[in-house]
Amino acid sequence: MSKGLIGCAVVLAILLLVGGGLFLWGTGVYNSLVSLDEGVTAAWSQVENAYQRRADLIPNLVNTVQGAADFERETLTEVIEARARATQIQITPDDLSDPQALARFQQAQDELSGALSRLLVTIERYPELKANQNFIQLQDELAGTENRIAVERMRFNETAQTYNIARRRFPATLIAGWLGFEEAAYFEAAQGADQAPEVEFDFREQ
């Protein structure tokens, strides 16, 4: 075999090794980004589950409150309408890279939180409701759900941060941009949203 052919073979072998190494590296980065991206979607699903749990509790709360004589209809209607608006806004996996979409979702949820707060504060003027066992149980369930919402929001932001850091690191950022891995939007909580809404859940008679 001539020296020229040997040289070509060596060059070809080097190119194959380099190309194979790059392929394996790119595949590893891609798979890692896919896993992290799926983690963001899963974390958001848990946020939605917590919010849905709250929405599911509200009809029972409304039915219980409606049984009280002369209860403020306007306050009750506000809760019903706020729940309807909050449940109409749906977030798809593609929306998780859109800060405005998440902001619209959160605004509707914040409006529902405010309406619930006003409703439950109003209960103070209704002793028969404060002593109602169904209402007491709903209060406890709502309090637990609000805490779960706060926990799941925090976990979502942590998961989104892990993904965003991974996709921005060089040279992974080259693959992320080329293959369409967009930056995840953070859950921008309103001021004070790191705690459950200021709602009086302890209206029991002492």
Chain Cα centroid distance, residue 142: 18
CATH for 119: 1.20.1440.20
- How high is the pLDDT of residue 3? 59
Q: Confirm if 35 and 159 have CB atoms less than 8 A apart.
A: no
* pLDDT tens figures, 61-120: 888 888 776 677 888 889 999 999 999 998 888 899 899 999 999 999 999 999 998 888
| Domain annotation covers residue 199 | no
Helix axes 133-168, 172-179, angle to 10 degrees: 110
Cα 85 from chain centroid? 17
The list of the chain residues with pLDDT below 50 reads: 192-206
Would residue 104 count as lying in a domain? yes
Domain count, the chain: 1
Which residue segment(s) compose the domain that 124 sits in? 34-179
pLDDT of residue 109: 93
Q: Is residue 200 part of a domain?
A: no
Q: Does 15 fall in a domain?
A: no
The answer to the question of residue 72 being in a domain is: yes
pLDDT score recorded for residue 10: 59
The one-letter amino acid code at 43 reads A
pLDDT at 194: 46
What helix, strand, coil percent values describe the chain, rounded to 5? 80, 0, 20
Residue 55 lies in a domain: yes
Question: Comparing C-alpha atoms, which of 38, 36, 31, 86 is closest to residue 58?
Answer: 86
User: How far is the CA of 67 from the CAs of 44, 80, 128, 142, 158, in angstroms?
Assistant: 36, 16, 10, 19, 43
